[in-house]
């Protein structure tokens, strides 16, 4: 497994093993020349909450330092909040 930095508090226990496996696979696919990394990523994952369930939260894993990912996520949020026309929903990948 690659050396994915992270804080276990960012991932609920019920999702931890799977998210770690997915993150390791993404890191190896994006960065085949480890330990040199060219591509950073963040995977955000959440359960669709039922209205009465307030325990749901977003889970986060990344191959980068938190400060770098916070900067990238702020850039994403700034872009995503702009009016870019009609929302496009991507088909599910099977």
Domain ranges of the chain: 8-49+56-81
pLDDT at 27 over 60: yes
Average pLDDT across the chain, whole number: 79
Higher pLDDT, 94 or 75: 75
pLDDT band at 1 (very low <50, low <70, confident <90, very high): very low
What separation, in Å, do the N-terminal and C-terminal C-alpha atoms of the chain show? Answer: 25
Look at residue 23 and give its three-state secondary structure.
Answer: helix
Q: What is the dihedral of CA 45, 19, 22, 24, to 10 degrees?
A: 130
Q: How many CA atoms lie within 13 A of 54 on its CB side?
A: 0
Rounded CA separation 62/38 (Å): 14
- Distances in Å between the Cα of 24 and the Cα atoms of 33, 38, 64, 80 are 14, 15, 12, 27
pTM for this one? 0.68
């Amino acid at each position: 497994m690659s050396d994915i930095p992270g804080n276990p508090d960012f991932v609920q226990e019920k999702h931890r093993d799977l998210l770690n496996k997915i993150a390791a696979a993404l890191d190896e696919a994006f960065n085949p020349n480890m330990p040199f990394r060219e591509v950073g990523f963040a995977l955000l994952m959440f359960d669709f909450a039922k209205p009465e369930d307030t325990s749901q939260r977003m889970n986060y894993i990344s191959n980068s330092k938190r400060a770098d990912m916070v900067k990238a996520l702020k850039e994403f949020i700034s872009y995503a909040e702009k009016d870019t026309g009609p929302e496009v929903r991507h088909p599910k990948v099977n």
